[in-house]
Amino acid sequence: MTLAVLFPLIMAAVCALLARQLGRRTGYLAALGFLPALLLAVPLAGNSVEVGGTPFNQVTGWVPELGLNFAFRGDGFSLLFAVLIGVIGALASLYSVAYLSERERFGRFYPYLLLFGGSMLGLVLSDNMIALFAFWEMTSVTSFLLIGLWHTRSEARDGAIKAFLVSALGGLGLLAAVALLSVAGGSTTLSGLDLEAVRASPMFIPALLLTLLAAFTKSAQLPFHLWLPTAMEAPTPVSAFLHSATMVKAGVVLVAKFGLIFGTSALWGGIIVPLGLATMFWGSWRALKQTDLKALLAFSTVSQLGLLMALYGLADAEGRFAATTHLLNHAAFKAALFFVVGIIDHETGTRETFRLSGLRRKLPLTFAVALLATLSMAGLPPLGGFISKELFYEAMIHAGPGFIAVSVIGSAFTLAYCARLIGIFFGDFRAPEDDTGQPLKPHIHEAGLGLLLPPALLAGAALLFGILPSSAEWLTRRAGAALNFAGYEGHLYLWHGVTPALLLTLLTWGLAALLVWQAARVYFLQVHVEFPLSSNRIYRGLLRGLETLASRVIAGTQGLALPDQLRITLAAAGLMGGYAVWRAPQVFQPLEAVPLSTLPIAVLLVAGALGVLLSRNRLTAVVLTGLTGFGSAVAFLAMRAPDLALTQLLIEAVTVILFLLVFRSLPGFRSLPRGRVRGVIDVVLAGSAGIGATLLVLASIRFLSPPISPYYLENAYKEGGGKNVVNVILVDFRGWDTLGEIMVVAMVALAVGSLVRLGRRGQARSEKDTAPASQDLLDLQKRQS
Q: Which residues, 625 to 644, sit near another protein by CB under 8 A?
A: 625, 628-629, 632, 635-636, 639-644
Among 545, 713, 719, 735, binds another protein (CB under 8 A): 713
CB count within 10 Å of CB 607 equals 14
Q: Compute the least distance from the CB of residue 57 to another protein, in Å.
A: 45
Query: At its nearest, how many Å lie between another protein and the CB of residue 538?
Result: 24
Q: Please name which of 615, 607, 612, 654 lies closest in space to residue 632, comparing C-alpha atoms.
A: 607
Taking the C-alpha atoms of residue 771 and residue 42, their distance in angstroms, rounded to an integer, is: 69
Dihedral (CA of 192, 194, 199, 203) sign:
negative
Strand partners, 74: 56
Interacting residue with another protein among 195, 506, 654, 680 (CB under 8 A) = 654
Sole window of 185-193, 328-336, 395-403, 623-631 interacting with another protein (rule: CB under 8 A): 623-631
CB 712 within 8 A of CB 725: yes
**Interaction with another protein in 579-608: which residues (CB under 8 A)?**
589, 591-592, 594-595, 598, 602, 605-606
Q: Which residues contact 165 (CB under 8 A, 6 or more apart)?
A: 227
| Cα distances (angstroms) measured from residue 88 to each of 82, 238, 338, 591 | 10, 10, 12, 72
Q: Is-contact 337 373, C-beta < 8 A? A: yes
Cα separation of 512 and 411, whole Å? Answer: 8
Q: Which range in 257-265, 371-379, 417-425, 610-618 contacts another protein by CB under 8 A?
A: 610-618
The smaller minimum CB distance to another protein, of residues 483 and 621, is found at 621
Pick from 489, 701, 705, 706 the residue near another protein by CB under 8 A. Answer: 701
Task: State the minimum distance, in angstroms, from the CB of residue 579 to another protein.
Answer: 19
**Minimum CB separation from another protein for residue 557, in Å?**
12
Nearer to another protein, 443 or 760 (CB): 760
* Minimum distance of another protein from residue 596's CB (angstroms): 11
- Residue whose CB is less far from another protein, 430 or 674: 674
Among 354, 436, 707, 783, binds another protein (CB under 8 A): 707
- Under DSSP, the state recorded for 368 is H
Angle at Cα 179 formed by Cα 175 and Cα 180, nearest 5°? 120
Q: Half-sphere exposure (CA, 13 Å, Cβ side) for 195?
A: 10
Bond into 382 cis (ω within 30):
yes
Query: What type of residue sits at position 741?
Result: E
Number of residues that bind another protein (CB under 8 A): 113
Site for another protein contains 693 (CB under 8 A): yes
Q: How far apart are CA 246 and CA 89, in angstroms?
A: 9
Minimum CB distance to another protein, residue 537 (Å): 24
Q: Figure out which of the listed residues 318, 612, 620, 715 binds another protein, where binding follows CB under 8 A.
A: 612
Per rule CB under 8 A, is residue 672 in the interface with another protein? Answer: yes
Q: Which of 199, 346, 361, 567 binds another protein (CB under 8 A)?
A: 567
Residue of 445, 528, 723, 783 that binds another protein (CB under 8 A): 723
Helix (H) or strand (E) holding 61: strand 56-63
The site string for another protein over 725-764 (x = CB under 8 A, - otherwise) reads xx--xx---x--xx--x--xx--x--xx--xx-xxxxx-x
- Can residue 437 be called a binding residue for another protein (CB under 8 A)? no
Residue (498 or 562) nearer to another protein, CB: 562
- Beta-bridged to residue 63, according to DSSP, are 68
Beta strand pairing call for 56-63 and 68-74:
antiparallel
**Nearest partner of 649 among 619, 624, 629, judged by Cα:** 629
Our finding on whether 291 is near another protein (CB under 8 A) is: no
Which residues, in sequence order, are bridge partners of residue 547? Answer: none
Rule CB under 8 A: is residue 557 a binding residue for another protein?
Answer: no
326-345 residues in contact with another protein (CB under 8 A) are none
Q: Which of 205, 521, 698, 719 is the binder for another protein (CB under 8 A)?
A: 698
Nearer to another protein, 42 or 646 (CB): 646
Rounded distance between C-alpha atoms, residue 445 and residue 443, angstroms: 6
The amino acid at residue 337 is L
Integer Cα distance of 283 and 298 in angstroms: 9
Q: Which stretch binds another protein (CB under 8 A): 40-48, 96-104, 399-407, 552-560?
A: 552-560
- Which stretches does DSSP call E strand in 392-536? none
Inter-residue contact 19 to 30 (CB < 8 Å): no
Pick the closer one to another protein by CB: 61 or 740.
740
Which CB sits closer to another protein, 32 or 726? 726
Of the residues 10, 506, 538, 613, which one makes contact with another protein according to CB under 8 A: 613
